[in-house]
Chain A
Amino acid sequence: MCGIAGLLRLDGNPADPDVLHRMIRTVRHRGPDGVGVYTDRNLGFAHARLSIVDLQAGQQPMHDGTRRLWITFNGEIFNHVELRESLIRKGHRFHTQSDTEVILHQYMEKGADCVHDFNGQWAFAIWDSEQRKLFLSRDRLGVRPLFYTTHDGSFLFSSEVKSLFAYPGMPREIDRAGLDQIFTFWCTLPPRTVFRGIQELPPGHSLTIEDGEIKVRRYWQLDYSSAGNASTEPAAEGPIAERLLELLADATRIRLRADVPVGAYLSGGLDSSLVTALMRQSSGGTMKTFSVTFTDPEFDESRHQDDIGRYLSVERNRIRCDTDDIGRVFPEVIWQVEKPILRTAPCPLFMLSKLVRECGYKVVLTGEGSDEMLGGYDIFREAKIRRFWGAQPDSRSRPLLLKKLYPYQTNLQMQSSRYLQAFFQVTGDGLSNAFFSHMPRWNMTSGLKTFFSSDVQADLRNQNCYQDLETFLPKSYFGWDPFCQAQYLESSMLLPGYILSSQGDRVAMAHSVEARFPFLDHRVAEFAASIPPSLKMKVLNEKYILKRCAEKLVPSSIINRTKQPYRAPEGKSFFTGNKARDYVEAALSPDSLQRAGLFEPATVQNLLDKFRRGSAIGIRDNMALTGILSTQLVVDQFIERRSV
């Protein structure tokens, strides 16, 4: 796992190695084990290495042995062993044991189509020095980040935006349409980012530049077309569970390939417990696990972590996190995630990766992706209940299911059915809306735009992020089962745009830790997409088929426990008593807000006052504070202060 950067001067001028060094320096946290720079007239690659595979010979940028093809690569190709064997049979000769060299040779064989053969998580660039052609690719589900832009006659790319800002004279401005998307969907729709002119290569896409022409092409996407046709007969369950487990076991096995020890994140939920159990099956000896615990029992899952830890006889390492910790690390987290966030949940994971590194580990396996691929999130159950209720809107018992779904939302428990109906949009046109599952969340989040400045609101008057979303979605989406539609929205938007970035790559790589995700093995993802929705959620039993898979590997106390969504303390983290932390006061001062021009200063002051009075109790107020504060920190760190 590493950091990459590069540039191609489209005006034909030579690439400046000093600029490349400057760019790669900003992402040294991604690769503290070495730096390499390569230039070929108007092309330059840079690489910061975190050595995990072939510690001695895996330096980058690397060439193919003939010096025709060069690569800078961030990530892992887990099936590099099998690909190497197949390439050797075809006559390819290798000089290292690294997966990096395998990419080059597979590219030599198949060109841009090589990506179809990779099982892994990657962002890489290949330079064909003969054809003067640049090829960039990002993995199928967006585990590894890849940003790009054009400026000053150059095409530039990097693992992180801050590296692009290291290019001299790079314009820095908030993209207001991107901000609008974040304050609706919690993420931007790629290629858009929150920075104007900076684009993100969408997951499952490749980009080529030849003769000055930039072409972006999708090579993969999740497809739920067959999920509706699959058999739902009880007899089909067993074979489906067996096949899923087989794929997960293999996905885990190949993700243990490394020349350094591999640990696991253990949350105490089903997904990380199953991954850890599968790791246990594949490798003996001491196994280290890493967990977040919370001082506040509302968020804490220690008891379940202890249960599974004892059951699997793994070594437990944990951090204890409280509101003070979250408030303390928040600015650093924003520096890493490089975008506004509406939740503080990345903060504990930022602290956890630090612990991993302190324990001498560089690689962890985690359970992320399971909830998206196999239907685990509350939003899926919520949508099912809403539809069930919508079929009989006058029912008195059906709304109780919603209260049962969110036992930790005390305010919700006190609502009448009529209000629940309104909050959850159970009646009217809502039921036929193609975004039915997500509309309550998006509507609530959109309410935060009341804080936008008049200038931003005027700018966004003709902006319709739902139209953007319709363009973003595949045509076939509109014919899928509603459960699959909800899964696709989570998998294609929030998974890469928040879970894998802000809660994943960025906070792990902040401490040079690589996370690997067996549930995001494309074989698992494709198979899961073909499973009928009724087996993912049986009545209201989430991840039903996965629970069947886990029966022999994970204790029933973990399988049958009530799912606890991963959350962290929010707004109160930014206060000590009724006094806002110094950086909060500074970022949200009328002066700072006025300068940034994004939020109405008086409105934000009223929000702060509400927190100071202790009257801010709802999700909306907490999201507003976290969203506004993180946006202001992005402006401060990346645009005004020019820390890079």
Chain B
Amino acid sequence: MKDEVRKFIIDNFLFGRDAGRLSDDDSFLEKSLIDSSGILELVGFLEETYGIQVLDHELVPENLDSINKVLRYLDRKSSENLEIRIAGRTAS
């Protein structure tokens, strides 16, 4: 997953150019990698690749502004989804 996210960021916002310089904690905003359409591209990628729905209130830098933040966010989303599925099964 980490490799996929990293590859997406490097391909789309660094246009393939990294040479190992982008660390997993580097802020996309501080590095001027991303603009308002870039956020939407990233969200589109995450939703399509990982089958999640990024909710409006989740569209914040705390969730999406570095590779590690994205990974932690995806982790949280998948556990939430798991909990929802378990809760759904229990309820039924």
Query: Which residues from chain A sit less than 8 Å from chain B, CB to CB?
Result: 409, 411-412, 414-416, 418-419, 422-423, 443-444, 446-447, 450-451, 600, 602-604, 606-607, 610, 615, 617-621
Contacts and interface: CB of A to CB of B under 8 A. Distances in A.
Contacts of B61: 418-419, 422
Contacts of B91: none
A411 B37 contact: yes
A416 B12 contact: no
A621 B29 CA distance: 16
Given A418-B60, A419-B60, A422-B61, A620 B35 contact: yes
Contacts of B82: none
What is the interface residue range for chain B against chain A? 20 to 34
Given A412-B36, A620-B37, 6 more contacts: A415-B59, A418-B59, A444-B35, A447-B31, A451-B17, A618-B37
B39 interface: yes
Contact of B36 (A409, A604, A610, A615): A409
Given A422-B29, A446-B32, A451 B15 contact: yes
Contacts of B12: 610
19 contacts: A411-B35, A412-B36, A414-B36, A416-B57, A416-B59, A419-B61, A422-B29, A423-B36, A443-B32, A444-B32, A444-B35, A600-B17, A602-B16, A603-B15, A603-B16, A615-B41, A617-B41, A618-B37, A620-B37
Contacts of B16: 602-603, 606
B88 to A, nearest CB: 28
A620 B15 contact: no
A447 B28 CA distance: 10
Nearest to B33: A447
Contacts of B11: 606
B8 to A, nearest CB: 12
A332 to B, nearest CB: 28
Contacts of B38: 618, 620
B36 A450 contact: no
B62 interface: yes
B32 A617 contact: no
A496 B2 CA distance: 47
Interface in B45-80: 56-57, 59-62, 65
B14 interface: yes
B40 interface: yes
A434 to B, nearest CB: 20
Interface of B: 11-12, 14-17, 29, 31-33, 35-41, 56-57, 59-62, 65
Contacts of B65: 422
B19 to A, nearest CB: 8
A63 to B, nearest CB: 55
A102 to B, nearest CB: 51
Residue from B33, B36, B38 whose CB has the most chain A CB atoms within 10 Å: B36
A409 B40 CA distance: 13
Residue from B37, B40, B41 whose CB has the most chain A CB atoms within 10 Å: B37
Tell me what chain A mostly uses at the interface: helix, strand, loop, or mixed: helix
Nearest to B58: A416
Contacts of A414: 36, 40, 59
Contacts of B17: 450-451, 600, 602-603
A415 B33 contact: no
B62 A423 contact: no
Residue from A412, A619, A621 whose CB has the most chain B CB atoms within 10 Å: A621
Nearest to A623: B35
A418 B15 CA distance: 26
B49 to A, nearest CB: 15
A621 B14 CA distance: 11
A620 B37 CA distance: 9
A411 B36 contact: yes
A285 to B, nearest CB: 49
Contacts of A619: 35, 37
Nearest to A422: B29
A360 B1 CA distance: 65
A632 B48 CA distance: 36
B15 A607 contact: yes
A49 B11 CA distance: 52
Nearest to A413: B36
B15 A606 contact: yes
B14 A450 contact: yes
B39 A419 contact: yes
A28 B34 CA distance: 45
Given A602-B16, A603-B16, A606-B11, A423 B60 contact: no
B37 to A, nearest CB: 3
A416 B65 CA distance: 13
Contacts of A604: 15
B35 to A, nearest CB: 4
Contact of B37 (A446, A450, A617): A617
Nearest to B36: A411
A617 B38 CA distance: 9
Given A422-B29, A603-B16, A606-B15, A416 B36 contact: no
A418 B32 contact: no
A620 B35 CA distance: 7
B36 A419 contact: yes
Contacts of A415: 36, 39, 59
Contact of B62 (A418, A603, A618): A418
Nearest to A452: B17
B56 A416 contact: yes
Residue from B17, B31, B57, B62 whose CB has the most chain A CB atoms within 10 Å: B17
